[in-house]
Amino acid sequence: MPAAKAALEQFFDFLRFGSVSTDPKYKEQVLECAAWVEKKLKAIGLEARQYETPGHPIVLARGPRKEGRPTVLIYGHYDVQPVDPVELWHRPPFNPCVENGLVTARGASDNKGQIFAHILGIEEALREKGDLPVNLIVLVEGEEEIGSPNLAPFLDSHREELACDVVVISDSGMVAPGWPTFTYGLRGIAAVEVTATGPDHDLHSGIFGGAVENPATVLARLIAGLHDKNLKVTLKGFYDGVRPLRGWERRAWKPLPLQDADLLRMTGAPALRGEKGFSSLERIWARPTAEVNGFGSGYQGEGTKTVLPSKALAKFTFRLVPDQDPKKILGIVKDYFRKNTPPSVKLDIVPGHCGGPYLVDPNAGFGVAAQKALGRLFPGKKPALIREGGSIPIVAQFKSILKVDTLLLGFCLPDCNAHSPNETFPVSHLDLGARLNRYLLEEIAAAS
Ligand code: BES
Ligand code: ZN
């Protein structure tokens, strides 16, 4: 079998595991997927092992070690998001196929394709040279999509083993196909779930409606109160510490190929709308938001049912930018809900995962080496310097615990449908990512 074909077959094997980290139903497949990653890393010549955690296992591998060269830690995740709504997939999510050069499967882009491409790059270098240009650590975890709750303690207790000069992550995007992209910032996140309970059981809305307040209405009012007419978040103190966008960023982002028309096409939304005074990219990459991720109450079946629901539930995440502190934001959010809830309902507020934002100077440290590697990958093109709106909570912890910066060099496409039905990854990006891996390790070695 030609090498490329074998690589694709293996990629398909990787994608066949339903490694959904959030749903206990998938526990077995998560474990099998971790074992597969460990086996693959061993097969290419790395020393690899798994570490148990209170949640899903961490897979850790090392390459040949030599004195005097830098240590690079490549991070990725083998867990994936749930597939719902599954009826909207054109193909079963864990039965990968290729069509028009795109692999469709849950996790194809986020993050199996990207970490697998790195593994292919390492495999190729070891096969050709029997060595790598740097001392290498590969860390692949199974809980990124649930906020990496067990990875920070692991970093803390394995500081010496994980000591490195820089972290490399490909779990973000390119601004357009063929467009080299270097990400120097990520948003942070704070999650919270709110349940409003009114009557202790569902009521007849004719017999009681008007006298007993409806918890769905109360929760809807609380949600609506999160934004003002300019779509700014109303919470007191929410914007404290938000770093203003710098002039060079605004200028650099204006000509990028990801403009409103592209966003409209990719999302299918009838129009774009967001915080007054900022462009769409600025809103996504450099401004904080309050989002409702889920909202439910009352009768959802066919026809009508005159019910006054007992409960209403909403799930929120707040995307954060430097220098907002997720813990402080959770406090502000709790205060808002408590202060604005009438005595007619009881409110339960359960905080979820938290992750700090991240921002570095793209031209400092190994940033220059990263841009050189991208330049070799796409000769004659200048890398786009961007931030991303998504979150990789562990990045801030690599900085605070291991004291190292992270190079974010993602190569999924903006319309890859990450977290949505019909997630895709271009077949050609396996090779692209493998070459990026090789150039990057070479440039990092050359810069040290
Ligand atoms: N790969 C994404 C993060 C991402 C997306 C970075 C787009 C840059 C651009 C990652 O797998 C992810 O989805 N993270 C979650 C984190 C959360 C569950 C704590 C996110 O951003 O929602
Ligand atoms: Zn994700």
Q: What confidence tens digit (pLDDT) does each residue in 165-217 have?
A: 999 999 999 999 999 999 999 999 999 999 999 999 999 999 999 999 999 99
Whether residue 345 is predicted with pLDDT greater than 70 in this model: the reply is yes
Whether residue 2 is predicted with pLDDT greater than 60 in this model: the reply is no
Name residues whose C-beta falls within 8 Å of residue 13's C-beta, 6 or more positions apart in sequence. 36
Ligand 1 close to Cβ of residue 390 (< 6 A): yes
Judged by DSSP in three states, 336 sits in: helix
Query: What's the Cα-to-Cα distance from 412 to each of 106, 249, 362, rounded to whole Å?
Result: 13, 22, 20
Whether residue 1 is predicted with pLDDT greater than 70 in this model: the reply is no
Gap between the Cα atoms of 381 and 374, Å rounded: 9
Gap between the Cα atoms of 280 and 416, Å rounded: 19
Q: Where are the domains of the chain?
A: 4-187+357-447, 188-251+276-355
Ligand 1 close to Cβ of residue 393 (< 6 A): yes
- For the chain, give the mean pLDDT: 97
Strand partners, 263: none
Gap between the Cα atoms of 17 and 30, Å rounded: 7
pLDDT at site 5: 87
pLDDT at site 51: 98
Q: Which of 391, 409, 411, 417 has most ligand 1 atoms within 8 Å of its beta carbon, as the pocket-test mutant?
A: 391
- Nearest to residue 189, comparing CAs of 288, 273, 78? 288
* Percent of the chain with pLDDT strictly greater than 90: 99
pTM (2 d.p.): 0.95
Ligand 1 close to Cβ of residue 353 (< 6 A): yes
Q: Pairing relation of β-strands 181-186 and 384-388?
A: parallel
Gap between the Cα atoms of 73 and 99, Å rounded: 33
pLDDT at site 4: 84
| CA of residue 152 to ligand 1 center, whole Å | 17
Q: What fold does the segment set 188-251+276-355 form as a domain?
A: Alpha-Beta Plaits (3.30.70)
CATH, domain 4-187+357-447, list 3.60.20.10, 3.40.630.40, 3.40.630.10, 3.40.50.720 = 3.40.630.10
Reported as a pLDDT band with limits 50, 70 and 90, residue 3 is low
pLDDT at site 340: 98
Q: Which helix (H) or strand (E) holds 203?
A: strand 203-204
Q: Whose atoms come closest to the Cα of 388: which ligand? A: 1
* Nearest alpha carbon, ligand 1 atom 7: 390
Q: Pairing relation of β-strands 346-355 and 102-104?
A: unpaired
pLDDT at site 223: 98
| CA of residue 81 to ligand 2 center, whole Å | 6
Q: Which helix (H) or strand (E) holds 190?
A: strand 188-197
* Nearest alpha carbon, ligand 1 atom 1: 171
Structure-token pair, residue 55: 């949640």
- Nearest to residue 412, comparing CAs of 431, 426, 402? 426
